[in-house]
């Protein structure tokens, strides 16, 4: 093997070839002896031809499907820039002996902060008060009609207490709220340490004053937040989704908001992205919306990039990287032999 070849998906670069996220420091890869770094053409779905001579792929938003990986014999890792991996066929990765790696350390704090940002904005009626202020004296005269809601003693709920959900609760500790969550895979010890009461799903919807979606999109979680569950919520409650849009039945949410069944929602993600300009949810004053980018800061791009770079270099040196999603790959004999080959070809 003459070189360890790494590619970035084309959506990391703008039309002129400029990096979309300049905080993503690629110098450790560029400076690594024996490593070739290339950029792929921007495509909705990575093609088999694009990965044919690659050992590692750092992936942003393009899809990696079963067709992408068909016949793949060299690719050892897909390093996703973030934690969502619904654009990667994990079953195909297993079949082809490809590790899928995500970046939990890079997103944990920025996404948790974005959830709290929406919670503060919703309960404080930030957007309404911003609009009133811009109206001048007539707007100021209406301010007593739009008092916010204090958080002390309210119940903060979460669908999931994984990487991001747990961090959300850690950051919310000084707010003197009650914590509840539903997570069939929860670590009871972690829940106890964070002061979280684990409850069933219906109880979570009934008791939460602020309910955050913190689970991945899977077949089991698609439309988990539906009309029946929204009907369980308090009319004073708020729903926040920074995870994946299809976890929430958006039509059902729109109807619940129009009917006043819940007080408001904060959405960084949508069933269709971008949503149509005439999507009825965008016209509701009780909703705060952001373009799947509220957590986008210099720190998240720096953190995600550093995690992906570390994963790629670990593979090159024959080591198992952090953040592997398809952990069954660890028992894949062909993949382990590939790692051993890298260790021998590129000794640290």
- Give dist(CA 178, CA 167) in Å, integer: 15
> One of 74, 292, 322, 336 is an active-site residue; which one?
292
CATH code of the domain containing 247: 3.40.50.720
One domain for residues 112 and 260: yes
Q: Which residues contact 193 (CB under 8 A, 6 or more apart)?
A: none
Q: Find the farthest-apart pair of alpha carbons in the chain and give their distance in angstroms, rounded.
A: 74
Among 252, 267, 289, the domain-final residue is: 289
Residue 171 main-chain phi, psi, to 5 deg: -70, -25
Neighbours of 290 (CB within 10 A): 17
One domain for residues 324 and 267: no
At 232, the pLDDT band (50, 70, 90 cuts) reads very high
> Residue 23 is encoded by which pair of tokens?
């905080």
One domain for residues 138 and 61: no
Look over the chain and give the mean of its residue pLDDT values, rounded to a whole number: 96
One domain for residues 87 and 132: no
Whether pLDDT at 1 is above 70: no
At 347, the pLDDT band (50, 70, 90 cuts) reads confident
pLDDT tens, position by position, 40-52 = 999 999 999 999 9
Whether pLDDT at 100 is above 70: yes
One domain for residues 68 and 125: no
One domain for residues 174 and 256: yes
- Give dist(CA 150, CA 160) in Å, integer: 24
Counting Cα atoms < 13 Å in the Cβ hemisphere of 47 gives 7
| pTM exceeds 0.75 for this model | yes
Whether pLDDT at 71 is above 90: no
Region 131-155: what's the mean pLDDT? 96
> Residue 310 is encoded by which pair of tokens?
């570390």
Region 305-322: what's the mean pLDDT? 97
Radius of gyration of the chain measured on its C-alpha atoms: 22
> One of 45, 146, 173, 273 is an active-site residue; which one?
273
Among 289, 321, 336, the domain-final residue is: 289
Strands (E), the chain: 4-8, 35-39, 56-59, 77-80, 99-101, 155-159, 178-182, 196-198, 210-213, 238-241, 264-267, 287-289
One domain for residues 151 and 276: yes
One domain for residues 203 and 126: yes
Task: Establish whether 273 is a catalytic residue.
Answer: yes
- Give dist(CA 142, CA 263) in Å, integer: 19
Domain range holding 138?
Answer: 106-289
One domain for residues 165 and 270: yes
> One of 244, 271, 310, 338 is an active-site residue; which one?
244
Task: Establish whether 292 is a catalytic residue.
Answer: yes
One domain for residues 153 and 186: yes
SS3 73: coil
- Give dist(CA 290, CA 268) in Å, integer: 5
One domain for residues 56 and 131: no
Region 181-199: what's the mean pLDDT? 96
Contact present, 240 and 253 (Cβ < 8 Å): no
Task: Classify residue 135 by its DSSP letter.
Answer: T
One domain for residues 177 and 88: no
Task: Establish whether 337 is a catalytic residue.
Answer: no
In terms of C-beta density within 10 A (0-12 exposed, 13-18 middle, 19 or more buried), how is residue 216 classed?
middle
Region 85-104: what's the mean pLDDT? 96
Whether pLDDT at 200 is above 90: yes
pLDDT tens, position by position, 329-346 = 999 999 999 999 999 999
- Give dist(CA 279, CA 273) in Å, integer: 11
Number of domains, the chain = 2
């Amino acid at each position: 093997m003459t070189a360890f070849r790494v590619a970035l998906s084309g959506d990391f670069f703008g039309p002129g070839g400029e990096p979309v996220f300049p905080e993503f420091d690629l110098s450790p890869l560029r400076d690594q002896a024996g490593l070739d770094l290339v950029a792929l053409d921007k495509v909705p779905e990575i093609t088999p031809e694009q990965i044919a001579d690659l050992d590692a792929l750092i992936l942003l938003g393009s899809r990696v499907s079963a067709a992408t990986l068909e016949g793949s014999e060299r690719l050892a890792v897909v390093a996703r820039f973030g934690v969502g991996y619904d654009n990667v066929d994990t079953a195909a990765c297993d079949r082809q002996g490809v590790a899928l790696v995500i970046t939990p350390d890079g997103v944990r704090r920025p996404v948790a902060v974005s959830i709290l940002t929406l919670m503060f904005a919703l309960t404080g009626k930030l957007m309404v008060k911003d609009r009133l202020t811009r109206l001048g004296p007539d707007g100021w005269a209406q301010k007593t009609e739009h008092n916010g809601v204090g958080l002390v003693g309210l119940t903060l709920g979460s669908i999931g207490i994984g990487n991001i959900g747990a961090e959300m609760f850690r950051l919310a500790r000084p707010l003197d709220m009650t914590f509840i969550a539903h997570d069939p895979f929860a670590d009871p010890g972690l829940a106890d340490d964070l002061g979280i009461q684990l409850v069933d799903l219906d109880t979570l919807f009934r008791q939460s004053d602020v309910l955050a979606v913190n689970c991945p999109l899977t077949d089991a979680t698609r439309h988990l937040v539906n009309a029946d569950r929204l009907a369980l919520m308090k009319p004073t409650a708020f729903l926040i989704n920074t995870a994946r849009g299809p976890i929430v039945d958006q039509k059902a949410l729109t109807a619940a908001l129009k009917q006043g069944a819940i007080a408001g929602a904060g959405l960084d993600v949508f069933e269709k992205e971008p949503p149509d300009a005439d999507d009825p949810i965008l016209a509701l004053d009780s909703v705060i919306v952001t373009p799947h980018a509220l957590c986008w800061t210099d720190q998240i791009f720096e953190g995600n990039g550093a995690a992906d770079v570390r994963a790629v270099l670990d593979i090159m040196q024959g080591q198992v990287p952090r953040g592997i999603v398809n952990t069954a790959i660890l028992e894949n004999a062909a993949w382990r032999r590939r790692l051993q080959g890298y260790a021998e070809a590129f000794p640290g």
